[in-house]
Amino acid sequence: MEFTFDLNTIWFLIIGILLIGYSILDGFDLGVGALHLFVKDDTERRIMLNSIGPVWDGNEVWLVTGGGALFAAFPHVYATVFSGFYTAIMMLLFMLIFRAVAIEFRSKRPMRWWRQMWDTAFSIASIFIAFLAGIAVGNLITGIPLNANKEFIGTFWGLINPYTVLVGVTTVALFMMHGAIYGVMKTENELHNKLRGWVNNTIIFFIICYITTTMSTLIYYPHMIQHFKEYPILFVLALLNMLAIANIPREISKGKDFFAFLSSCASIAALLTLFAFGVFPNFVIASNNPEFSLNIYNAASSHKTLNIMLIIALIGIPFVLAYTISIYWIFRGKVKLNNMSY
Amino acid sequence: MHFFSTLMVSFGSMFSAVWIVVANSWQQTPAGFHVVGEGINARAEITDFWAMVLNPSSVDRVLHVISGCWLAGAFLIISISAYYIIKNRHIRFAKSSIKIALFVALIASLFQLFTGHSSAVGVSKNQPAKLAAMEAVFDDQTNAQLYLFGWVNEEKQEVNFSIAIPGMLSYLIGFDTETKVTGLNSFKEEDRPPVNIVFQAYHLMVAIGMLLIVLSMFGVFFWIRGTLFKQKWLMWAFVFSVLLPQIANQVGWITAEVGRQPWIVYGLLRTSEGLSKAVSADQVWFSLILFTLIYIGLFILFVYLLNEKIKHGPEDVDAIPSEIGHPKS
């Protein structure tokens, strides 16, 4: 197919960038959450929490922004996905609420059972959110049954099959790796060394999942590499992705934690870009009849709306980038606990 | 740095309130769009961004909602400060807090009179069925009365146990008792909102609004007289006053949303037509029950923790370490 760089494509890109931003940012705090229960000591758990303390809610804003942009730019995608995945999305919301509450409430009381309860809620919610996000991506790869009115006609259990579960587990593994590296960057001494040891395990776990997922995609969902056959240059992305992943243990062993983290960010960005090229120009593939698929044209808002939103985005994005960068700058360095901490 | 963050939290809250209310106001009084397509494919497309944002009800409602939030915030501070004053703890902190909050409360509660009035006039023009439900007007009439309270019998179309001021409703919406108020019977039966719920919610909101003005005036009156902190009864009233704006804000929204029924977008799209076909009633029940349970649970936790925090009180002002500008770094 021919690429035409029009307004609809720009919005596909913007939403892609927002979701990549979300995966990179919330990815590490979900990953820290997934590893949380493996840390036993109360002080160490507080350090884990406070490593993400000032930034996790700002990170989740990227998801809200992505959802908001989707709602305004591609309302049919929003309507189909949010209605079709209703139960799954309600569970996601449920988990997001509990995770937020757990972070805020945990250290407010000293009782052991209280803290254990919120630690468990925090960790399980983190894993579950990552898993559900993966299931969603999996379903966008496999496609879901739609009718001519762009309505979802499948069931909740239809969304869960071996392939989507595999993508879910891969996402958890990816975020665990990402979170472990972030943890290494933000901690000192004993906890630092412990996390450094975990990085390798999470990398191995991720690579196994990644290879399995890639193989299954190539075998069962070859439409994902259609564009790659037409534009072989895109394979460079896949190569870069592998290099980024391979670079992580190298940087970790050299003690350059920040570069390891950058590599991890790059590999998440590359993975999602590969996914985006795979589905483009579709958002939601109709598994029963390709004609019912929602793409960047039949699911879009009017050109006027897209134009207005582009102006708003151009005004808003510099602000978001500026405050995101300044927050990370203010809270740079290793975590130190004080009476203002979680 | 802390002051800057506090300002940003405040501006951010108000900024998001603006857009939330703008979106909701468009549902009440849609503007700046045209409908493209037919039947199930019909959709409203934007033609004029500013006409859409500044639709006929936005400005009034944004001001009314933000002022309602100020009231909720002010009375929370008033309540906690009054509690400290009664318990004779953190006196200096409590006294200065309560004064700032009383000042905000007085201004905001009086401001609500104007924004509320202006909103109601807007409703009478743009959503006459809603106004008719708010005041239980069944037949078109001039010299329409304003109820202070009552209980609406929707079948017999009467208002029982009521006290009303004759002509006041007509006067308020047009500054003339001869202003005609459109009654519910002028609308097709399927276009009428439920009356008693809207009536009760609306009257409760207005009653609480008046009570808040009275409370703030008492507070400021005794403050000027210099005897504010000796008025034990008023301090106790303040402690419980935290609930009032919360209730008023909720019933205000009930008035706005139930009063808009049966429309999800007033005059354009019925709520029954806005249903998602892919979501079954069971799924909706599941989520409703789930979230009700969550919010009840969280509410209990919230009250428990807030109570602990209030009992613990503020850090001693002089004891705050000097490196406060860089916490957690």
CB contact under 8 A, B287 and A302: no
Among partner residues B49, B291, B326, which is closest to A308 by beta-carbon distance?
Answer: B49
Chain B residues whose beta carbon lies within 8 Å of the beta carbon of residue A50: 328
What one-character-per-residue DSSP string does A242-294 give? HHHHHHHHHHHHHT-HHHHHHHHHHHHHHHHHHHHHHHTTEEE-BSS-GGG-E
- Which pair of tokens denotes residue A231? 């534009």
Q: Is residue A103 part of a domain?
A: yes
In a domain, A175, yes or no: yes
**Any domain includes A3:** no
Contact assignment for A50 to B328 by CB distance below 8 Å: yes
Checking if the pLDDT of B44 tops 90, the result is no
Residue in B52, B279, B328 to test binding to A, most A beta-carbons within 10 Å: B328
Question: What is the model's pLDDT at position A219?
Answer: 85
Q: Among all residues of chain A, which has the CA nearest to that of B320?
A: A339
Backbone φ and ψ of A283, nearest 5°: -100, -55
| CB atoms B286 and A90 under 8 Å | yes
Report the length, in residues, of chain A.
342
Q: Is residue A199 part of a domain?
A: yes
Please tell me what DSSP assigns to residue B184. G
User: Which DSSP string corresponds to A30-73?
Assistant: HHHHHHGGG--SHHHHHHHHHHHTTTHHHHHHHHHHHHHHHHHH
Q: B6: pLDDT confidence band, cut at 50, 70 and 90?
A: confident
Q: For chain A, which residues score pLDDT lower than 50?
A: none
Q: How many CB atoms lie within 10 A of CB B292?
A: 10
- Cα–Cα distance measured from residue B49 to residue B43, given in angstroms and rounded to the nearest whole number: 16
In a domain, A67, yes or no: yes
- Give the three-state DSSP class for B44: strand
Residues B2 and B326: their CA atoms lie apart, in Å, by 9
The C-alpha angle with vertex A138 and arms to A137 and A142, in degrees rounded to 5, equals: 120
Nearest CB to A108 within list B36, B294, B305:
B305
- Interval B293-313 mean pLDDT: 87
Token output for A214 = 């890639």
CB-CB: which of A83, A90, A153 is closest to B276? A83
Minimal Cα distance from B289: which residue of A?
A: A90
Asked if pLDDT for residue B204 goes beyond 80, the answer is: yes
For residue B277, give the chain A residue with the closest CA.
A151
Is the pLDDT assigned to residue B327 strictly greater than 60?
Answer: no
CA A337 vs CA A50, A113, A247, B154, B172: distances in Å? 8, 22, 32, 62, 59
CB contact under 8 A, A101 and B301: yes
Which ipTM did the prediction report? 0.70
> What is the phi-psi region of residue B167: left when phi exceeds 0, alpha when psi lies from -120 to 50, beta otherwise?
left
Mean pLDDT of all residues in B262-269: 86
Residue B149 pairs in a beta bridge with B163
Q: How confident is the model at residue B315 (pLDDT cuts 50, 70, 90)?
A: low
Question: What pLDDT is attached to residue B142?
Answer: 82
pLDDT at A238: 84
Range of the domain at A257: 8-330
Q: Show residues of chain B in contact with A332, CB under 8 Å.
A: 329
The dihedral through the CA atoms of A257, A259, A265, A268 has a sign that is negative
Instruction: List residues of A whose CB lies inside 8 A of any B CB.
Output: 50, 53-54, 75, 79-80, 83-84, 86-87, 90, 94, 97, 101, 105, 108-109, 149, 151-153, 301-302, 304-305, 308, 330-333, 335-336, 338, 340-341
The alpha-carbon gap from B306 to the nearest alpha carbon of chain A, in Å, equals: 10
- Whether A310 is covered by a domain: the verdict is yes
In a domain, A281, yes or no: yes
Q: DSSP class of residue B141?
A: B
Measure CB to CB from residue A331 to each of B45, B308, B328 and give the nearest one: B328
Q: Give me the total of CB pairs closer than 8 Å, taking one residue from chain A and one from chain B.
A: 68
pLDDT at B324: 41
Give the residue among A334, A324, A296, A315 at the shortest CA–CA distance from A16. A296
Q: Which amino acid is at B120?
A: A
Q: What is the pLDDT of residues A57-114, one digit of tens each?
A: 888 888 888 888 888 888 888 888 888 888 888 888 889 988 988 888 888 888 888 8
- B90-126 tens-digit pLDDT: 888 888 888 899 999 999 999 998 999 989 888 888 8
CA proximity to B61, closest of B33, B31, B30, B20: B20
Count of domains observed in chain A: 1
Say how many CA atoms lie within 13 Å of A227 toward its Cβ.
18
